[in-house]
Amino acid sequence: MGKRLGLTGNEAVAYAVKQADVDVIAAYPITPQTVIVERLSEYVANGELDAAFVPVESEHSALSTVVGAAATGARVFTATCSQGLALMWEILYIASALRLPIVMSIAARALSAPINIHCDYSDVMGTRDAGWITLFAENVQEAYDNIVQAFRIAEDPEVLLPVMCVHDGFILSHCLEVVEVLEDEQVRNFLPRRDRPNVLDPSKPITLGPVGLPDSYMEFKRQQDEAMKVAYRKVKEVGKLFGELSGRYYDVVHAFGVEDADVVAVCMGSAAGTTRYVARKLREKGLKVGVLKIRMFRPFPKNEVRELLKGAKLVIAMDRATSLGGAGHPLQMELATTFYTWRQKPLIMSVVYGLGGRDLTPMDIERMFNIALEYAKKGEVPEEALWLGLRE
Amino acid sequence: MTLIEVRWHGRGGQGVVTASELLANAAIFEGKYAQHFPEFGPERAGAPVRAYTRISDEPIELHTGIYEPDIVVVIDPTLLVNMDILLSGLKRGGVFVINISEPPSELKERCKELGAKLYYVDATKIALEIFKRPFFNTPMLGALLKATGIVKLESVHEAVKRRFKPEIAELNIKAISRAFEEVRSA
C-alpha cells in the first residue's frame, strides 16, 4: 500500500504527473490551476522530474507546444481552465484529430463575464464536441487516480486520443484531503513506454495534419468516432487494472441506491459526494432516492446510464453549466438523447446549480429531491430548469 | 467520533489558512480523515479571512461550505467588533476559542445563551514574545487542542515539523505548547 498524504487537488495532480515521468510540460498559470504549474516547475527545477518545462506566453501556445512534443512521441502534460481553455479551443480539435495522447488537467472554472474565478463547467462544456476523452473527479483522491489512469488510456495503441481530467476549481483544487499515493515504481510499471505509430522522426519523414478535402475529411472524423468507442471500453478496462494495483476500482459511472430508487440525481464532480450524503439521509427516512455519478462525460456512458436508471421514474439532470437558449442544458441533453433513442423513457427534470462557484448545500439538495419526488408522483416535470440556490 | 467541523476567523497575513491546514494534516497523521479549505477570494493583508477544517473517523463525502460549525476559532480579537459573524451558526453546545486577554462580558453572555463553551488565551502576547511578529495562528491551534482534544498535541508537532524549516518549526512548537498551557475557560 502506498503513502497516505494530505494534498490539495492541485498538489495531487502535480504529484501524479511527476510519477508519470512526463517528458514535456508546457503550461500557463491561471487561477485556480496555478499550483499545478508551480509544483511541476519546482519538480523540474530541483531535479525530481527530468522533463522539459516550457514556460509559454499563452494557453494557445501551451497546447500547441504539447501537440508538437506529443507528435514526436514524447509523453506530455498541460493544465488550464476557464479563459485559458477557451483560448486553446482551436488547438483542442487539432490535438484529438492528430490522435495525440495528451493529458490535460482542468481545474474547472466559470467563463467571463462577469469575471469569476470559481467553479462551474462552462469551460469544460465548451470542449464537449472536441474529441477529447473527459473524466471528472469527485474528490482529491480521484483527481490523483484519474491522472495516472489518463496516461494509460491516452497512450493505448487502440485509442491514441487526448484525455482531459477535470477537478472542480477551488472546491477540489484548493481543498486538502487524504490521498493514498502509489509508489513511483508502481506508477512507472503501470505506464510502460510504448512505441507509437506515425511519430515525427527526421530519419523517417512523414506529414501530420495535411489537408483533408471533401474526399477524405469525413473518413477521418468517422475514425475518430470509432476511436471514441474503443476508448469507452478501454476506460473501463484501465479502471479495473488500476483497481487491481491500488485497491480502488473505477468504472465510467458510480451508482448509489439506484436499485430501488424512484428518483435518481445524475451529477458530476464534487457534487456527487454531497448529493450522496443527502440521499443516504433521505433513504434512512424511507425515501427512494439514488445518485448516479458520471465519471466519464466523453465518451458518454450511455449503456451504464440506461442499465442503472432503468427502474427510475424520474431522473434529475444536475447541470453546473448552461446552454443558453438551448433545448436543455448539457447533461440534460445527454440524458434526454440517451433515453429518447432507447425503449425506456423516464421523466427528466433539469436542475442548474453552482454557477460561478455558488455553493451546493445539503439543504438545496434535500429541497431538490423533495421537489423531484413530488413530480415523480404526478408523473410530469416542468419544461423549465429549476435553478437551485438562485436568489429571487 | 463523528464529523467535527471547525471555522477559523482571522485577518489576511496572520496564518489562518496555515493553522487550518496544520490541523487537517495532524488529523491525517493520526489515521483520521480530514479536509481543509480556505474561503476563496481576493487575498489582502488585513482583510477578514476564514478557513475551514473537517475531521472524521470515516471518509468525508461532503464538498460544501461549513455553516454550522462545532468549533469556532478567532485568532484576531479586533474581529469582535462584529460578534454576530463570529458566532453565526455555532452549534448549541459548541466551542468558541478566542485570542484575547480577557473576554468581554457580552461575549460571555452570548456564548452562555448558545450553550457554547468559551475558551481564551492571550495569543498576541505569546506570538510577540516568541516570534516577535503577529503570527497568532499556531498559538491558537495550541489553545484549540487543549480546549477540545480534537487531535493530539504530538500530531500537531509532527505537522509543524513537516511544514516548516527546523528553526521555524521549533518556535511554532514552543508557541503551541505555551498556548496549550495558558488557555483558560471562561
Q: β-pairing, B48-56 with B33-38?
A: antiparallel
In whole angstroms, give the CA distance from residue A245 to residue B107: 54
Confirm or reject contact between A117 and chain B (CB < 8 A): yes
Low-confidence winner among A282-296, B21-35, B42-56, B71-85 (lowest mean pLDDT): B42-56
Per the prediction, chain B carries an average pLDDT of 95
**Higher-confidence residue: B14 or A373?**
A373
What is the DSSP track for A329-350?
Answer: -HHHHHHHHHHHTSS---EEEE
Average pLDDT of the segment spanning A231-259: 98
Indicate the pLDDT class of residue A392, thresholds 50, 70 and 90. confident
Confirm or reject contact between A178 and chain B (CB < 8 A): yes
Spatial CB neighbours of A106, under 8 Å, sequence gap ≥ 6: A33, A79, A80, A81, A85, A123, A124, A164, A165, A166, A167
pLDDT of residue B78: 95
Q: Would you list which residues of chain B are within 8 Å, Cβ to Cβ, of chain A?
A: 21, 24-25, 28, 31, 33-38, 40, 59-65, 67
Average pLDDT of the segment spanning A251-277: 98
Confirm or reject contact between A101 and chain B (CB < 8 A): no
Indicate the pLDDT class of residue B45, thresholds 50, 70 and 90. confident
- Distance from the Cα of B9 to chain A's closest Cα (Å) equals 17
Confirm or reject contact between A353 and chain B (CB < 8 A): no
Which conformational region is residue A82 in: left (phi greater than 0), alpha (psi within -120 to 50 degrees), or beta? left
Q: Which of B35, B59, B61 sits opposite A175 (nearest CB)?
A: B35
Alpha helices in B45-94 (DSSP H): 83-87
pLDDT of residue A378: 98
Confirm or reject contact between A247 and chain B (CB < 8 A): no
pLDDT at B47 over 80: yes
Closest residue by Cα to residue A208 from A60, A26, A73, A103: A73
Environment class of A105 (CB within 10 Å of its CB; exposed 0-12, middle 13-18, buried 19+):
buried
Report CB contact under 8 Å: B63, A274. yes
The CA-atom distances, in angstroms, between A16 and each of A1, A19, A143, A342, B139 are 16, 5, 9, 39, 34
Q: Which of B25, B28, B37 sits opposite A175 (nearest CB)?
A: B37
Q: What is the pLDDT of residues B121-149, one digit of tens each?
A: 999 999 999 999 999 999 999 999 999 99
Spatial CB neighbours of A234, under 8 Å, sequence gap ≥ 6: A153, A156, A158, A159
Q: Cis (ω within 30 of 0) for the bond into A114?
A: yes
Confirm or reject contact between A357 and chain B (CB < 8 A): yes
Average pLDDT of the segment spanning A30-57: 98
Indicate the pLDDT class of residue A1, thresholds 50, 70 and 90. low
pLDDT of residue B180: 97
| Amino acid letter, residue A72 | T
pLDDT at B42 over 80: no
pLDDT of residue A2: 76
**Mutating which of A116, A118, A177, A359 best tests the B interface, going by the most B Cβ atoms within 10 A?**
A177
pLDDT at B41 over 70: no
Chain B residues closer than 8 Å to A176 by CB: 21, 24-25, 34-37
The radius of gyration of chain A's CA atoms, rounded to the nearest angstrom, is 21
Spatial CB neighbours of A40, under 8 Å, sequence gap ≥ 6: A14, A17, A18, A25, A27, A49, A51, A53, A77
pLDDT at A88 over 90: yes
Indicate the pLDDT class of residue A11, thresholds 50, 70 and 90. very high
ipTM of the complex: 0.95
In whole angstroms, give the CA distance from residue B76 to residue B73: 9
Chain B residues closer than 8 Å to A360 by CB: 64
CATH number of A253-387, picked from 3.30.420.40, 3.40.50.920, 3.20.20.70, 3.40.50.300: 3.40.50.920
Q: What is the pLDDT of residues B156-170, one digit of tens each?
A: 999 999 999 999 999
Chain B residues closer than 8 Å to A171 by CB: 37, 63
The radius of gyration of chain B's CA atoms, rounded to the nearest angstrom, is 15
Indicate the pLDDT class of residue B43, thresholds 50, 70 and 90. low
Report CB contact under 8 Å: B37, A176. yes
CATH number for the domain running over B4-185: 3.40.920.10
Inter-chain CB pairs, A–B, below 8 Å? 63
Closest residue by Cα to residue A80 from A97, A61, A94, A93: A61
In whole angstroms, give the CA distance from residue A151 to residue A157: 12
Its CATH class, for the domain covering A3-246, is alpha beta
The domain limits of chain A are 3-246, 253-387
- Distance from the Cα of A132 to chain B's closest Cα (Å) equals 27
pLDDT at B1 over 90: no
